[in-house]
Amino acid sequence: ALRWVGPEGEELERLPLDPDAFCAWSAPGNATGGLVYGHYGRPQDLAELRARGVSARGHLMLLRLGRGSPAQKVAAAAGAGAVGVLLYPDPQDTAGP
């Protein structure tokens, strides 16, 4: 399950995860940390976070699919110190139903 944790470490919400949905190239293990939204995970998105004083170091990054490959997104997040990446398709980025 994915746990949303508040600033004091309290559990705010627990979301079930499908154990069959995984990236075959992921490292084994668990990643725990805060959640940082990084838009598409492009260099300019990460630069914007830094400019706002937000660090991904030790956190999970939530990134939208599109505007770059998933591999580029994961590599950029790792370079920024993130311990994990959650990729999601945003309905605004898809055509049709």
| 50-80: pLDDT as tens digits | 999 999 999 999 999 888 888 889 899 999 9
**Helix, strand, coil proportions of the chain in percent (round to 5)?**
25, 25, 55
E strands, 17-92, are: 35-37, 60-64, 84-88
Per the structure, the count of domains in the chain is 1
Q: Which long-range contacts (CB under 8 A, 24 or more apart) does 44-50 make?
A: 46/76, 46/77, 46/80, 49/80
- Whether residue 68 is contained in a domain is answered as yes
- Whether residue 84 is contained in a domain is answered as yes
- Whether residue 18 is contained in a domain is answered as no
β-pairing, 2-5 with 11-15? antiparallel
Domain that holds residue 73: 56-89
- Whether residue 77 is contained in a domain is answered as yes
Task: Give tens-digit pLDDT for 35-46.
Answer: 999 999 999 999
- Whether residue 1 is contained in a domain is answered as no
Q: Phi then psi for 64, rounded to 5 degrees? A: -80, 140
What average pLDDT does the segment 22-51 reach? 85
- Whether residue 7 is contained in a domain is answered as no
Length of the chain counted residue by residue: 97
